[in-house]
Chain A
Amino acid sequence: MNAIDIPWLLELVIAVFLLFGAVVALVGSWGLAKLPDLFMRLHGPTKASTLGVGCTLIGSLLYFSHQQGGVSIQEALVTMFLFATAPVSAHMMAKAALRRHLKCVTRTRNPPSP
């Protein structure tokens, strides 16, 4: 399928969304690699990556809506699923970490008592 020409303004908006999403997702992954304990590492994927993937999907939604003439609803659904499931998985991981009494960095305020 040949790509239909896109007006430059729309192309710019799509590019901004894709790039911004990629940068935010990169920062989230960087946090995952850098932060010292599991609880702090959880913040990277639940937030930064959610926004990163969300922006990428908005870019994709705009592109395919234009190409196929009509709102491409699949990306919107993927975004919805992502927002609904990311906090649940983060919650389950945090719960598992609490159960196993994983160490958190010493300067953590009110660490949960074992």
Chain B
Amino acid sequence: MSRQFWLPRPLFSLFLALLWLLLNRFTVAHLLLGLVLGVVIPFVTHPFWPERSRIKRPGRVLRYVLLLLVDIFWSNLIVAVRILRPERHLQPGFFRYPLELDDEFAITILASTISLTPGTVSAHYDAEAHTLLVHALHLEDEAATIAGIKQRYEQPLKDILR
């Protein structure tokens, strides 16, 4: 059997083994268990993985993560305030977000970002229409919300992968 078959993603295997050791005390038993998990998990989940994405600009990943952390903080505060205010002030709504990204992994990241940040939860990915159905807790201006997501999150993601 070839290496490609047993170790489809060697870096991911190494990452899993290290992660297991970080979560546990370092002993030989945990090292062995971590290595076994590192081989078994990629082997079992490999068929579900999308095509390999290439990160073109790793420096921008860090910038994106920092931006995300700050935005998570603020949007959480906004959501908390909206929950505390009387419910009749809320105007919930759905909207369709037209995707420009093609890469499946990047779309996953964008959907997660939408769910974690500005008062929105992504509900459905329509592969044919190439849109995300998004629910917003408080939807005032649909076009402005879409433009905001596009400029703040989708554009940086495109830059990272381009």
User: Which single member of A24, A91, A109 contacts B115 (CB below 8 Å)?
Assistant: A91
B111 in contact with A48 (CB, 8 Å): no
Q: Which of A36-76 contact B (CB under 8 A)?
A: 36-37, 39-40, 42-44, 46-48, 50-51, 54, 73-74
- B114 nearest CB neighbor, chain A only: A87
Interface size of B in residues (CB-CB distance below 8 Å):
35
Residues of the B chain whose Cβ atoms lie less than 8 Å from the Cβ of A87: 111-116, 121-122
User: Contact at A30–B83, with CB atoms within 8 Å?
Assistant: yes
Q: How large is the interface on A (under 10, 10 to 19, 20 to 34, 35 or more residues)?
A: 35 or more
A24 touches B23 (CB 8 A): no
**Docked complex: A11-48 residues within 8 A CB-CB of B:** 24, 27-28, 30-31, 34-37, 39-40, 42-44, 46-48
Which A residues lie at the B interface, using CB under 8 A? 24, 27-28, 30-31, 34-37, 39-40, 42-44, 46-48, 50-51, 54, 73-74, 77, 83-84, 86-88, 90-91, 94-95, 97-98, 104-105, 107-112
